[in-house]
Amino acid sequence: MTSLTDTPMPVPVPTRKPGAGRAMRWGRLLWRELTTVAITIFGLLLVTFFIARVIPIDPVLAVVGDNARPDVYENARIALGLDKPLWQQFASYVGKVFTGDLGRSVLTSNTVVEDIKRVFPATLELATLGTLIGVLLGVPLGIVAAVNQGRWPDQFARIVGLIGYSIPVFWLGLMGLLLFYAKLGWVSGPGRIGIAYQDFVDPITNIIMLDAALQGEWDAFRNAFSHLILPASVLGLLSVAYISRMTRSFMITELQQQYVIAARVKGLSEWRVVWRHALRNAAVPLVTVIALSYMHLLEGSVLTETIFAWPGLGRYITNSLLNADMNAVLGGTLVVGAVFIAVNLFTDILARIADPRAR
């Protein structure tokens, strides 16, 4: 017969607080994302640094000129740190970048950071409106094409995509200026805003339309929009072609799934099947496509900015490269790369939140 003291006591089982597992999963996800971003940024810095050393452009000559004396050339070379070993130059370069020092532009005599603050909002404004046009036209066009696969709406969507992919941007921009500006007078010409309105708006965000709206300068707002709509439409056509094609592909795949067949058997309307069920499942990869289109317009609008005299980042990098202004070229490249990384990280996190399968 055993006594009460000999009875083994139950061992308490540790319990996990509700939500602790989810917090741990999100913590691991955040750690992986941050590690990937850190490695990508390091690779971006490494590539841009060595590209600057490989390109047959002497940064010293860009500073002192072609006719500088040898002693002046050597002093400038030492001042730029080009006499040190490559690993020391790279370490110095990384340190300056993380302190916000991208050097000084030879072309404008300003710091590269100041120049980028001035020109990047123009590219942001142009790419944002171009992407908005692409989404508002491309997504419905792709959905209609998928629902009417093989019929005339599908053929029309393919023609629009073919035009967007085939016509050169510079030709489309020139024809747009000739027709809508020179002949019809529907829009304003090259530039970002008319000369008469340049002093009407104080630069708060350097996005002219936003600054004009904040200050109540609606005449300047309309003038800025009249300058913006044509180059944004040129970029928007490229975005429409890409987004409509990918939307069509995603929707065709979803419309062939079993849950769509089951929804139709249950008697749901075609509108509800397409827009509430199929589009919801296609939205996750579609967000990634839209983000890729947006990033492409942010860095790939060089020709558009040149044709329309748009003072954006692409035109700034191009002019800097033609004038051997390597600080400006590397600074602009780093900004474009950082935007790519940030948008890609945001899109990846958004996709994981929206789609449990991606977690």
Q: What is the pLDDT of residue 268?
A: 78
Assigned token pair, 341: 């990384």
Compute the mean pLDDT over every residue in the chain, rounded to the nearest whole number.
Answer: 81
Question: Is the pLDDT score of 6 beyond 60?
Answer: no
Read off the pLDDT band of 203 (50, 70, 90): confident
Look up residue 169 and give its two tokens: 């941007």
Q: What is the mean pLDDT of residues 44-56?
A: 78
Alpha helices (H) along the chain: 20-54, 59-64, 70-79, 86-98, 112-147, 152-166, 169-176, 208-214, 218-255, 258-265, 270-272, 279-299, 302-307, 313-322, 326-354
Identify the pLDDT of residue 230: 92
Output the pLDDT for position 232.
92
Q: 10 Å Cβ neighbour count for 270?
A: 10
Backbone angles phi, psi at 117, to 5 degrees: -60, -30
pLDDT at 257: 83
Residue 3 DSSP symbol: -
What pLDDT sits at residue 226? Answer: 92
- pLDDT tens digit sequence for 33-45: 778 888 888 888 8
Given a cut of 60, whether residue 173 has pLDDT beyond it is yes
Report whether pLDDT(213) > 90.
Answer: no
Interval 233-250: pLDDT, tens: 999 988 999 999 999 999
Convert the pLDDT of each residue in 79-134 to its tens digit: 767 777 777 778 888 888 888 888 888 788 888 889 998 889 998 899 999 999 99
Q: Which of 53-57, 251-255, 351-355 tops mean pLDDT?
A: 251-255
Which of 26-30, 168-172, 262-266 is predicted with the least confidence, judged by mean pLDDT?
Answer: 26-30
Domains and CATH numbers, the chain: 24-98 (no CATH), 112-358 (1.10.3720.10)
C-alpha pair distances (Å), 18 with each of 21, 28, 127, 242, 352 = 8, 17, 44, 44, 21
Chain segment 218-234, per-residue pLDDT in tens: 888 999 899 999 999 99
| Long-range contacts formed by 68-77: CB under 8 A, 24+ apart | none
Q: How far apart are CA 69 and CA 219, in angstroms?
A: 54
pLDDT in tens, 315-359: 888 888 887 778 888 888 888 888 888 888 888 777 777 665 555
